[in-house]
Amino acid sequence: MNKKSLPEIRQNVSLHSMNTLGVHAVASSLVTIRSTDDLISLHQSEFFERDLPFVLGGGSNILFKNDITKPILKMSISGVDIVEIKDREIFIKIGAGENWHDFVSWAVLHGYGGTENLALIPGTVGAAPIQNIGAYGVELKDIFESLEIFDMQTGSIKTFTEKDCRFGYRDSIFKHELKGKIIVTSVTLRLRRKDHQINDSYTSLRNYLIEKNIKNPTISDIYHAVVSIRKSKLPDPASLGNAGSFFKNPIVEKSVFERMKNEFQEVPHFVVDKNSVKIPAGWLIEKAGWKGRRVGNVGTYENQALVIVNHGNATGDEIFRHAKSIQNSVKEIFGINLMPEVNVVE
């Protein structure tokens, strides 16, 4: 195998502009990855044998608790390529470094259905399957075809199917067995060219369409509705640092839900199956008295209790402690453990 030239490795790089929470953390070393060749050349230089790096996408689901001593790989692999066209479907391969919302906008503009409910979710395409992003009744796995990964141990490129990824609620194999072992380099999605399957089942989405008197919504209508709803609930990270929803909506046993309902009759919920119920984390946090509450430089957003915000110059540790306080309150009042959706990096 021919030796490939190494990408530039920068030292002591500020991560302030690379995380939407706006934390002033510093990376001891940072490498920008623009192709799989960059990863292969790093492997040939035994880079991955010295210290496994942290892979950074758009920085939208990250809390840097402090300065980062391990190397950081900033994923910037670009490209949107149509790989197959069928009668009703189109298969599109997207580079891991592409902005997720920009791709959704592109897909809707071209009349390709499937991503519209996932509009305005921050982050990169490569991070989407790791989290199995979801919103308004749709998850990434619903439109997923395959992805390619780089194996840091072997230096090889492999293809993963949906089954290989083991998708769950905001979860995948990449958060467990393969965490810190692979890097997603591209994602291939299966979208609809025609006969679009409109999903307007989510209550706030349906109410928006009724309010706008949209009776037969198109994928463009759904896209604009989702964008409008999300903008009304979530602050712009450019003006108020945040990582979107900080916690997952907990799924509890039916017996736990019934116990809660005896005390809080108005508790909102979604039935998952005959034994499990999902309860909105935002409702739990608001009931615990945290909505709109500020502690020093950190606060819980006034319009959405799921969102922790940086009011300016908050350290990663301050944000982490704020999140722990919320978890402790919810546990004490409801007996429910809130799990972070945000990836805490130390």
Q: Which of 162, 286, 318, 341 is catalytic?
A: 341
Q: Which of 146, 148, 170, 172 is catalytic?
A: 170
SS (H, E, C) 99-119: EHHHHHHHHHHCCCECCHHHC
- List all residues 6 or more positions away from 314 whose beta carbon is below 8 Å from its beta carbon: 21, 22, 23, 241, 296, 297, 298
10 is catalytic: no
d(CA 147, CA 167): 13
Indicate the DSSP class of residue 16.
G
Q: Which of 89, 186, 245, 293 is catalytic?
A: 245
d(CA 103, CA 329): 39
d(CA 324, CA 322): 5
- List all residues 6 or more positions away from 265 whose beta carbon is below 8 Å from its beta carbon: none
CA 175 to each of CA 130, 260, 335: distance values in angstroms, whole numbers, following the listed order: 7, 30, 25
Surface-to-core class of residue 252, CB atoms within 10 Å of its CB (0-12 exposed, 13-18 middle, 19+ buried): buried
341 is catalytic: yes
d(CA 79, CA 98): 7
Q: Report the amino acid identity of residue 218.
A: T
Cα 85–chain centre separation: 28
Surface-to-core class of residue 20, CB atoms within 10 Å of its CB (0-12 exposed, 13-18 middle, 19+ buried): buried
DSSP reduced 3-state for 72: strand
Active-site positions read 170, 245, 341
